[in-house]
Amino acid sequence: MKFLASGLLGCVLLSGAAQADVFISVDAKGSYVLSNVHRPGRTYERVIHEAEAAVVSLDQQPQMIANQPYAELVSAAAKVNQLPEALLHAVINAESHYNPGATSAKGAGGLMQLMPDTARELGVTDVYDPKANIQGGARYLKRLMTLFDNDIALAVAAYNAGPDAVLSRGRVIPPFAETQRYVPNVLRQYRRLQGLAADSPL
């Protein structure tokens, strides 16, 4: 978390945090913890800041989401799994940049980069089929949201690093450079598609 710690200019005690805000706190052991959920008794500093020029109005937000690739497939999967469309789009963008044929070095495939074992468990027989991939990825993300009590930051971290990596560290974002970049990037895109500034309530 050193890359985040170097940006600390002072901590602000927050009375409430918007669900998709990203904050940093220090736990009892002196370790830095990223979260988007306010924990009573902790001191937080916001670590995601977006330029006002990048913010769109709420009136623009539905059209902005509708203009994303695979918008209809994402919308359908989001409704079935009770997830925000913007969150699914943000994960897809981070995972594959909307490339349905993407394959990672570890063997993850498709738009939402499903690992072979995960895909089989989710009933996805062809990870390169956009509809099947998005539906499977949405089911998996919903499972993670449930596991982590709708803490978006932890669910997104688990999507990237695996749920065991988050659980084994006491439900904090793992200290992997890739995951620590991934989580703020996904949440920043999520908020942009929601039409929200970093300091705006959802």
Is 121 in the active site? no
- Alpha helices, H only, 101-197: 116-122, 130-147, 152-161, 163-167, 177-194
- Residue in this structure with the two tokens 């009136």, named with its chain if needed: 59
Contact 47, 34 (CB under 8 A): yes
Contact 153, 24 (CB under 8 A): no
DSSP string of 33-87, one letter each residue = EEESS--TT--EEE-----GGG---TTTHHHHHHTSTTHHHHHHHHHHHT--HHH
Cα 22–25–30 angle (5° rounding)? 150
Ramachandran angles phi, psi of 114, nearest 5°: -85, 130
Which member of 45, 95, 121, 178 is catalytic?
95
DSSP state of 107: S
Contact 81, 189 (CB under 8 A): no
H or E, element range at 168: none
Supply the residues annotated as catalytic: 95
